[in-house]
Structure 1
Amino acid sequence: MTRLRILIVEDEAIIALSMEALLGTLGHEVCATAATAGEALEAAARDRPDLAIMDIHLADKTSGVEAAAGLFHGWGIRCLFISGNLDDDTRAALEPYKPLGFLNKPFLPSRFADAVRSLTL
């Protein structure tokens, strides 16, 4: 398995920490975490991750959809989307950014691990 450098974009600190720990056990490196769309773009410019794990609703009323657009257009970074709101309209809005997958919250650690293992860049 290839070791990936991953950006976590999640505004709930406990969830971000949990994902970071799980990614570490899977052999990946979390190069940065961000709670807002702006922080995500700054982290991408600085750390150049291989991919991002992206929540849809972020802190400061910023949007994971907008963050994903910036990551994709700025650096070609694709996202695994994790949210409690992954309805058909949201999924359709994300299609131009070539999603790596979708995972609904709340999720079990095993489902998260399976989603990460299934990633193909």
Structure 2
Amino acid sequence: MSLLARLAPHLPYVRRYARALTGSQQTGDQYVRVALEALAAGEQTLPEQLSPRVALYHVFHAIWGTSGAQLEDRNPDQESGGAPADRLMRIAPRSRQAFLLTALEGFTPSEAAQILDTGYPDVERLIAQAQADIDAELATDVLIIEDEPVIAADIEALVRELGHNVIDIAATRTEALEAIAKKQPGLVLADIQLADGSSGIDAVKDILGMINVPVIFITAFPERLLTGERPEPTFLITKPFQPETVKAAIGQALFFHPGRQKIAA
């Protein structure tokens, strides 16, 4: 199989990554082009021990790492997508790489370590640092829709630990709608099965009909959302949940959602 045939399926994704990393579609594409030219000229080779996708990102980083620091003096262009791109460029480059590789591109920390030519513990540290920077940047008001008091308290503690403000804890669909009538949240964390037999799915549907807000479902019944019969949620966490999973989902949901608002100081 030719080099182009091996890499072609992955090129749109490495272009997406390069755009997010550099804050510019033009600059990102330029670095991807240079990486491909280096491969074609034999100046770079795909590591045989890596999958083609991981190997392509590894080569991209070998090229970007030689002069990528120069990009930090540039302002993100208007193509970059606005607020998320601006926030990304305020994260230290190495942490930004680890965060984007795992959160945006879906690589495991082990794969990210191979791409960045570093160790697993270093990638975990970089991701944690990026997450901390994002959490500080994205503080917002949160509505929790959960009918189990102990679980609701656990989620509330996680949310507050990240620096967010919990505006209400709703146990029913009606309470959820009453809560947003008082104050609009910047994030909703919702269970599916609620106290009075009402549905968190319906509550979220009502809320999204009124405001544009990121939603994370935390439920013991994920199969009710993964039916393939309607659009499925981007962020779905299964109970019992790991605290770090919830924290990571909150950061990603807020970071990549367009138009979300930071709480007033």
Q: Pick closer, same or farther for the CA change 1:94–1:85 going to 2, 3 Å.
A: farther
Per-residue CA deviation, residues 26-62 of structure 1 (Å, 9 max, x unaligned), is 1111111100011001101111001210001011000
Kindly indicate whether structure 1 or structure 2 has the higher relative contact order, using CA contacts under 8 Å at least 6 residues apart: 1
Flag the structure with larger Rg: 2
Q: Which runs of 5+ in 2 are unaligned?
A: 1-136, 258-265
In the alignment, which residue of structure 1 is the partner of 2:208?
A: 72
Q: Pick closer, same or farther for the CA change 1:71–1:117 going to 2, 3 Å.
A: same
- Note the C-alpha offset of 1:64: 0.7
In the alignment, which residue of structure 1 is the partner of 2:138?
A: 2
SS of corresponding position for 1:20: helix
- Note the C-alpha offset of 1:76: 2.5
- Larger helix percent: 2
Q: Which runs of 5+ in 1 are unaligned?
A: none
From 40, 43, 56, the equivalent of 2:179 is 43
**Are 2:239 and 1:105 equivalent residues in the alignment?**
yes
The separation in 2 between residues aligned to 1:29 and 1:94, in whole angstroms, is 31
In the alignment, which residue of structure 2 is the partner of 1:24?
A: 160
- Note the C-alpha offset of 1:23: 0.8
In the alignment, which residue of structure 2 is the partner of 1:118?
A: 252
Q: TM-score, normalised by structure 2?
A: 0.42
In the alignment, which residue of structure 2 is the partner of 1:90?
A: 225
- Larger strand percent: 1
**Identity, % of aligned pairs?**
35
Counterpart of 2:225 in structure 1: which amino acid? Answer: T
1:7–1:31: 8 Å Cα contact kept in structure 2? yes
Q: Which runs of 4+ in 1 moved over 4 A?
A: none
Q: TM-score, normalised by structure 1?
A: 0.89
Report the number of matched residues: 118
In the alignment, which residue of structure 1 is the partner of 2:191?
A: 55
Q: Pick closer, same or farther for the CA change 1:43–1:93 going to 2, 3 Å.
A: farther
